[in-house]
Chain A
Amino acid sequence: QVQLVQSGAEVKKPGASVKVSCKASGYTFTGYYMHWVRQAPGQGLEWMGWINPNSGGTNYAQKFQGRVTMTRDTSISTAYMELSRLRSDDTAVYYCAREGGYCSSTSCHDWFDPWGQGTLVTVSS
């Protein structure tokens, strides 16, 4: 079955960087975009961007431009999200999510399914 397994929890100091991994299995890794979404404690879902695992192309939310880098290693079917210059308000659970979708004769729809289990990143001095 399709599965995304993320790396474990991290504790970082302000100003540091964190790199979260997302290992995919059960499907052709290069065939589907991978998105990253975060959720601060008690808050809603915030989209961070996507990576095309086939080409390595990326699209980041403007809020994270200059601080986020999404990469992939196709040899091990793993996507990565690195966030730099961490602040306390970056404390959140970070999720990877595969983009699913279909196209009819007139339109293409996409969604996030499945999701990884989440990685808690705590930023604290």
Chain B
Amino acid sequence: GAVVSQHPSRVICKSGTSVKIECRSLDFQATTMFWYRQFPKQSLMLMATSNEGSKATYEQGVEKDKFLINHASLTLSTLTVTSAHPEDSSFYICSARDGGQRGAAFFGQGTRLTVV
């Protein structure tokens, strides 16, 4: 299958600071990537759709000014959590669809964010 790499895998930051998470498609181009949030033992909740060269589309209830998304190239999307607070602590996962894999979406390793 296609490979999606997410970095960092773990990050601890102080309250009020910003954190950037990168999502790269390593062996295919992705015009669209997706960012999910997952709480322990729960399902994945779609936060936003990242579109290469245009603005991201956010799901209802997700603050676009807090979760900044940039998709500057066909292989890289970034999620920046701005002015992080302890309630932003969570597991963030990105995914991208590989058109050559019959429509399947592939996931990065995830990032565990802890805000202290």
Asked if A and B are interacting partners, one says no
Q: Which residues of A contact B (CB under 8 A)?
A: none
